[in-house]
Structure 1
């Protein structure tokens, strides 16, 4: 009921569709009462007594046809309005869910597989559309049951009372189906989510799978997960096959037997109009047919409840981005960065950064070096406000980093990653990042500034050249140059380089270094370095180990100390000579 209540709140803006649809459903039930009465009246008052001439026959045929036309129109508008209300709700939920994903903190995406997120956004939300069909079926069934019972009591109260005996058995069947099928559907949804996870992983890592000849293992694991999903689907089909239409049809048959038996016994001692028998059987059909439709929709209801609970869990997730407390008018003007005794943990338990303190003056370059897992990228994550730090202070221009609006931080802090991500579109749209306020002249100027203009103009369509998923078709160096242009076009005061040249060859690196030198000019730079030769001109080098700064100074100062940095230089030089 909690899930249903939340789903109804999502549909609240479209209540007019549902209210009008319910009104039409009530009118349909009235027409369903009148239709058998038309035939009954014709049979008992005209056909039986020989008064059914051609004129009377055409009158009743026309009356019945007219009522059927009215019913068809009412059914169209009832179905159309209700279905459109459900579709509007589905579109709104997807939009809200997509917006929610972009408000979640990075910790959420560290913990939840991308395939599971995709499953919730597509498969789970799609279940809402069919889920709402249950309510449509329920409304139609409710009006049909009430109208049919009233009509049967009007025809013969005694027979109608006997037929009501079947309703408790029908209610027990519905209750048992709902109780058992919910478990089956939850298990089925979990298996589907696992299946999507594995598909996402297999497609994303297809090159690695083929390189290491992992096709057989991946096929085996996929078969296992797919088999588990098949088993859950088979269990769902089994319970649907047993408890849906067959059982309802059985109750309907028992109802017909009761009607024929009770009216037949009455016929032994008197006369029973044939029209009454026809009307009773028709009303009985009107009573059970919507029940069959509703029971069929119960499977969608269970699917929707399970899907709804998964979506609501995501909507209620409080793994938000770090909270800012912006001060009006606060802007980044100089780009001075200061860490004061900062400590940080991703999970709140395992320390990653311990008592980190350093200052990057405006225009300076501070390099972060150390072994994998030493905390270099974690400092970047804290500075970019991807994660919240637990203690200490991070200051920009002497003010707490929390006092700046996110749009100010993102506009004045440029991040260049080790593996740049390019979006579907063109070269120009990837440089301006789809910001229409950035002119073509600014795009070209940015490309020229980072020495990317010649490369772009050598492409078949220049700045209008197509970019496909992740920038496939462009070399690592080309993608990196485009990311440089993307960064510089916003003219940031702070530049953050996360191993920006780690994935390019030496020749390409030399070209990129020229671009980097221009990119860093006049900007405060925090650089995570893999190749130590690229940061030897840094104003300050911080050597990290297990989340602590163990050495700091310029290249010459650290080399003179002959400590950890000296050993790292010697090790890289030896590896290079080898």
Structure 2
């Protein structure tokens, strides 16, 4: 986690096999769901591929089927076909050489009038005959195809045409029903496949989010000193959602795109090799365009990620610091700064728009050019009768299905690249070691006395920049120790070490005579309660904020603790009492009310050792007496360490330590320290004179 945020955003591989293998480990346990989704996907793909083929069959075999030749048989022959005027007419694809021409018939339309024609003509000549009447009464005619072909024909009425086309009508009904059923089945299969994939994807992301949050909770406090909250929130939300897109839109969909491409190619070659080669000829051009897009899209994508990170940072800082901006009237200057960052993001986004805006229309252009080539080449052959119209129609449809996966794959590439970037950042957190704990001793809250001793403690946050230097003191069980000193003297560091948020460099900290490094951190912290100056309230109710999801604390105990520290009065005055919803960080409560809630929380957990870190600072006058009374009750018969600037609140402490630049300069009770006329005396005098003024 040593690289900077922006470096992290720009050093992302487009594809990393190790990362992908690790991502697949989360999906491994759901292989049965993925297998079901793949089967459904194959079914959907087959249905999609068969739709144009159904239409081709309907056009060539049935709509235009009347153009195919028919061979006549005796009615008693038992041959299956259409019975007309005592003979059986059987439709065939081609006429065998041994069949005489007088047994061959076909239906032709001349000026929209149907004729049953005896003989054979080339397909391109059909519909072009001129009619010569032989007998109006018997409806016998001659059809002249050019100058050399004259065939006998019989004009058909509407009912007679229906006889010849009865099987066509039945077949069209069957194809229509099959087509509708295929559409319904495709819809159901597609819905099930989408639902299964999203169910699995959301379940995997749920598990990953749980793992990240659980791991973050195990991180040492130093980790949060170096990693902004916004970045960690992004990892748990935005980055995991990007992975969801990969699990639901890439893994299986890529297989579908591949199946469609292969299926389209196979079907096209099986129908007409020449037309298939025309479409295949477009592939090299598509490959070149895709390679160009991939390289430029990757650069554009990274520029957007960097610019987005910067704009989020600027927005977060400026919104959080809006009070300062307005106080110093820096709106115009900050707007200019934001304008600059916003412009960078705008340019990066427009760069990506240009790349995508060129790629997609270019693929569409290639697709349209391929269709134009098909229509030109295939249309000529339809007109000269060497190609069936249904085949050409199917090819035009398959062109769209051929180019759609190519477009889709480019989109999947973007998703895959985003997933690689997000997974790298997520695993960067998961691979960061959690807070170490070498302790093995469990401290029983009911039996702990609360004796605390610091023995020659040295501590530094960074290398040898010592914050505490050879600090030694004792706090007997049930007594109160106060620590005073200037900002940066090391007061809060003592509290951090006592909770093992950081580990000491030299010396020992003992609790009931046991080195706290031998005590399990969870057990240690269960025995230590803290009330901070900046009280943190969570979203939820007042009751939930005091209990903090501890089931062992009943509602009655919460109310009893609140009443004991004087918080019950204002809580009961809320519209919903203990069920009142707490706004963001308790924004609707005064500083004093938040402090009283913190006291109630500490008392409800009933710790053996209580730490008050500037807990009495910034208290409004109206609730100061309530706070003082609550403090007196809260510290009674409990080992207490108080960090305070207001010396008036610690005059009754059993012992007071004056810290200066990491060392203990003075120690004693209030009267003893005043008598020494040292640092404590000077601090007290300054505050006393300030209050009197």
TM-score by length of 2: 0.76
1:25 match: 41
1:145 match: 261
* 2:533–2:617 contact (8 Å) kept in structure 1: yes
Deviations 1:248-270 (A, max 9, x none): 22332343355456657878998
Task: Determine if the alignment matches structure 1 residue 188 to structure 2 residue 304.
Answer: yes
Deviations 1:21-70 (A, max 9, x none): 11112122322343333233333334444165433332333333333333
2:646 match: 531
1:73 match: 188
- Supply the distance in 2 between the matched residues of 1:115 and 1:469 (Cα, whole angstroms): 16
Q: Which has the higher strand share?
A: 2
Taking only aligned residues, the RMSD between alpha carbons, in angstroms, comes to 2.9
Deviation at 1:404, TM superposition (A): 2.9
Of 379, 399, 418, which aligns to 1:303? 418
Q: Which has the higher contact order (CA 8 A, sep 6+)?
A: 1
* 1:342–1:390 contact (8 Å) kept in structure 2: yes
Once the two structures are superposed, the pairs formed by residues 75-90 of structure 1 within 5 Å of their partners are 75-90=190-205
Q: Which has the higher helix share?
A: 1
- The structure-2 alpha-carbon separation of the partners of 1:162 and 1:426, relative to structure 1 and needing over 3 Å to count, comes to closer
1:480 match: 595
- The structure-2 alpha-carbon separation of the partners of 1:565 and 1:400, relative to structure 1 and needing over 3 Å to count, comes to same
- Supply the distance in 2 between the matched residues of 1:17 and 1:406 (Cα, whole angstroms): 41
- Stretch deviating more after TM superposition (140-149 or 286-295): 286-295
Between the two proteins, the alignment pairs up a number of residues equal to 576
Deviation at 1:530, TM superposition (A): 0.6
Compare CA radii of gyration and give the structure with the larger one.
2
Deviation at 1:379, TM superposition (A): 1.1
* 2:294–2:410 contact (8 Å) kept in structure 1: no
Q: Where in structure 2 are there 5+ consecutive unaligned residues?
A: 1-15, 69-164
- Stretch deviating more after TM superposition (539-548 or 329-338): 329-338
Once the two structures are superposed, the pairs formed by residues 447-462 of structure 1 within 5 Å of their partners are 447-462=562-577
- The structure-2 alpha-carbon separation of the partners of 1:268 and 1:168, relative to structure 1 and needing over 3 Å to count, comes to same
Deviations 1:497-546 (A, max 9, x none): 10111111456434322221221111111111111222233233222222
- Stretch deviating more after TM superposition (369-378 or 403-412): 403-412
Deviation at 1:202, TM superposition (A): 4.2
Deviation at 1:317, TM superposition (A): 3.0
* 1:195–1:222 contact (8 Å) kept in structure 2: yes
- The structure-2 alpha-carbon separation of the partners of 1:479 and 1:330, relative to structure 1 and needing over 3 Å to count, comes to closer
1:567 match: 682
- Supply the distance in 2 between the matched residues of 1:84 and 1:199 (Cα, whole angstroms): 34
Deviations 1:276-331 (A, max 9, x none): 3233333332221222233234333333333333333233333x335242225665
- Supply the distance in 2 between the matched residues of 1:13 and 1:174 (Cα, whole angstroms): 34
Deviations 1:442-466 (A, max 9, x none): 1232123223334434445543444
Alignment partner of 1:544: what SS? strand
1:344 match: 459
- Supply the distance in 2 between the matched residues of 1:216 and 1:449 (Cα, whole angstroms): 51
- Stretch deviating more after TM superposition (441-450 or 129-138): 129-138
Once the two structures are superposed, the pairs formed by residues 187-206 of structure 1 within 5 Å of their partners are 187-206=303-322
Once the two structures are superposed, the pairs formed by residues 135-284 of structure 1 within 5 Å of their partners are 135-157=251-273, 159-161=275-277, 163-243=279-359, 245-257=360-372, 259=374, 271-284=386-399
Deviations 1:203-225 (A, max 9, x none): 44444444444444444433333
- Stretch deviating more after TM superposition (541-550 or 494-503): 541-550
2:214 match: 99
Task: Determine if the alignment matches structure 1 residue 316 to structure 2 residue 431.
Answer: yes
Q: Where in structure 1 are there 5+ consecutive unaligned residues?
A: none
TM-score by length of 1: 0.90
Of 305, 321, 326, which aligns to 2:440? 326
